[in-house]
Amino acid sequence: MKHDIYYGSMPRLAYFDHFQAAMSSFQLKPEYEKEDFRNSISDILSGKKECSPFPHVTFDRFQVPEAVVNLQKDLAAMKWSPKVNDLYSLNQTCDFEALEGEGDNFQHLRQFRTFMKDSFRSYLEDRTKVKLSTEKVTMTGSRYGHTHLLLPHDDRVADRKYAFVYYLTERWTEKDGGQLQLYAVNEKNEPTKAERSLLPQFNQLVIFEVSDKSWHQVAEVLSKNKERLSINGWFHVDEAPEFVFPPFVDPLLSKHFSVLGDFGPEDADILAINPTYYAEPTWEQFVPKGTLVLDEFFVKGSFVESQILDELDQLKFAEVGPVHKRHFEVADIDESQLTSKSSLYFLLRGVKSHMMCFLLNKWTGANLSIESNPSDEDEPTAPKRAKLDTEDSGSSDSSPSKDLDLGDEYAGIDIACSIRRYKAGDYTAMDDQSAAAGSKNDCVIDMRLFFTREWPFDAEEDSDPHVTGPGGFLNYYVPGATEAMFRYEPANNQAVIAFREANVMNFTKYVNSRAAKNCFYVIDCTYFGVQRGENQNPLSAEFKITEAKKE
């Protein structure tokens, strides 16, 4: 009877569940209230105490073990969605705010959100003297599996003020990867190198102020049998600060070359573009997609095709950045020192030649010339067309370029060209600065020539279908879109051509650890001064919308 009176009308099992939930509720540990600890938090986050490379603090053993176990259980029951773009690959939950209508489900996650939004927010305000939003705290679960990562970024979006990550993975080691790496910056506040690497520690909270110096990344996860589990989010302010993003001038695109007029028929024959492509494809075939992939671009066994990889392997390469935009290698080469004994001599002159501009005109329907416009009303002159569309153009013995006479009609075209090497750890990323810089141009043509010995190759697959393969694929995106307009996987001796509005972005996906020691080379060319042909629509935001409606 004594027990009946004690429990009242609540069933024993329900009472124990209620009691366990109360015991596992979240709270600030007494040690965080000690004066020395509180003052240390204040001094670091206010900048009074030096903390390299930017102010950040950690709270070890943040919650009691029972509370952490309950969070893990709730997260295991959540719906996870793959998130993949130029910047990251991971699995993520919805924002915990969406759980408020879930009744008794996910009660521990909801309690944790309330604790962070109320109790911890007040604690942080008291320590920093910064007024934070009482209504808004964003919070999601993040799960990083094998090869997942988050590339360098500074978190500066809207009204974010303090970022935090709470680690829930046990027995994580350095060989598992996934470190939170904090970057030093240069005088432009661009990230330079990872100065501090924080290994995820079970039941540890890391917090830092969002600023123009808060560059950080999650390194690639190398473990194949463990996942990096965390809860991450931001505290916000009521009034969003005004962020200033200085313009970025890409030195690889700033150095332009003029079209060469001294690349003759003999040079073209040595270059040995597959003769099929002098007749096919035509711009009518190109228009629907705005992109083109040409296999076996150079005749197999020709001087260039047979020698180019050996020469590329011998070049000296240097890394280029900054790391929040890209990380790959560019060849340090003096083209004036190349001779006719070099396949690179013909290749680099060929991509800048009148002949290449003529072929790009033909393939894309764009207008690279001052005088011609390959539309129905203004075809290239009959002699030029006849000399390209020979009946035996599919034969490797034919030389359709022999009698080309293209004059000076491509004098208005500028070309940016570089030789790039991608290996494990390399990538390019999109950002608003690049989009703004690109929008100053009208249309451009990209041509990339790919060379590799071991790409693609059979890589070990994971259970997660979104992370198979070594990465390194080329994507074209409209900023803000959720799907790629075009995706290309590198392969040897292929040309990839895209005619696009200049604010359509492209990136090369991070090359992950599956690549091992394999690499691929790209002769990367961008042609400026291109005009639209009358029947041509370049890759653009409007083009994407039109295609989506058709689907």
In terms of domains, do 80 and 135 share one?
Answer: yes
Tell me, yes or no, whether 220 and 336 share the same domain. Answer: no
For residue 433, count other CB atoms closer than 10 A to its CB: 16
H helix and E strand count, the chain: 16, 23
> In terms of domains, do 319 and 349 share one?
yes
For 111-155, write each residue's pLDDT tens digit.
999 999 999 999 999 999 999 999 899 999 999 999 999 999 999
Pair 77, 157 in one domain:
yes
Residue 281 falls within a domain, yes or no?
yes
Residue 211 and residue 307 share a domain: no
Tokens 């302010």, residue located? 237
Q: Are residues 335 and 460 in the same domain?
A: yes
Q: Looking at the 3D structure of the chain, how many domains does it have?
A: 2
Is 72 inside any structural domain?
yes
Tokens of 27: 């709270």
For residue 371 the two structure tokens come to 């005088």
* Residue 458 per-residue DSSP state: -
Assess whether 474 and 521 both reside in one domain.
yes
Do both 272 and 137 map to the same domain?
no
Within 102-244, strands assigned E span 137-144, 149-153, 160-167, 180-185, 191-198, 205-209, 216-218, 228-236
Could you tell me if 431 and 152 are in contact, meaning their C-beta atoms sit under 8 angstroms apart?
no
- Examine residue 243 and state whether it is found in any structural domain, yes or no: no
Mean pLDDT by 10 residues, the chain (551 residues): 41 44 73 93 91 96 94 97 94 95 87 96 95 95 97 95 97 97 95 97 97 97 97 94 77 78 88 91 77 95 97 96 96 93 96 91 79 40 32 44 56 89 95 58 88 78 61 86 84 94 87 95 93 65 38 34
CA dihedral 542, 545, 547, 551 (to 10 degrees): -170
- Sorted by sequence, the CB contacts under 8 Å of residue 375 that are 6+ apart come out as 365, 533, 534, 535
Examine residue 5 and state whether it is found in any structural domain, yes or no.
no
Q: Answer yes or no: is 294 within a domain.
A: yes
- The partner residues of 319 in beta bridges, in order of sequence, read 329
Largest CA distance in the chain: 109
Count the Cβ atoms, other than its own, within 10 Å of residue 462: 16
Same domain, 428 and 487: yes
Burial-class residue 34 by CB neighbours within 10 Å (0-12, 13-18, 19+). Answer: exposed
Percent of the chain residues past pLDDT 90, beyond the cut:
61
CATH of the domain at 192: 2.60.120.620
Torsion, Cα 181 186 188 194, to 10 degrees, reads: -10
Residue 390: predicted pLDDT: 34
Is residue 538 in a domain? no
Tell whether 451 is covered by a domain.
Answer: yes
**What letter represents residue 154's amino acid?**
D
Same-domain status, 417 and 488 = yes
Give the model's pLDDT for residue 316. Answer: 97
pLDDT for the residue numbered 262: 82
3-state SS class at 117: helix
Distances in Å between the Cα of 178 and the Cα atoms of 55, 413, 426, 446 are: 21, 45, 17, 34
- Tell me how far apart the alpha carbons of residues 119 and 113 are, in angstroms, rounded to a whole number: 10
Asked if 338 and 482 sit in the same domain, the reply is: yes
Tell me what percent of the residues of the chain surpass a pLDDT of 70: 80
Express each pLDDT in 239-263 by its tens digit.
Answer: 888 877 777 778 777 777 888 878 8
- Domain hosting 321: range is 257-368+410-528
Q: What's the burial of 96, exposed, middle or buried (CB within 10 Å: 0-12/13-18/19+)?
A: buried
In a domain, 548, yes or no: no
Distance of alpha carbon 448 from alpha carbon 491, whole angstroms: 11
What residue spans of 258-367 are helical by DSSP H?
265-271, 276-279, 283-286, 303-314, 343-350, 354-364
Cα–chain-centroid distance for residue 154? 15
Please give the pLDDT value at position 439.
Answer: 53
How confident is the model at residue 213, as a pLDDT?
Answer: 95
269 and 227 inside one domain: no
The answer for residues whose C-beta is within 8 angstroms of residue 30's C-beta and 6 or more apart is: none
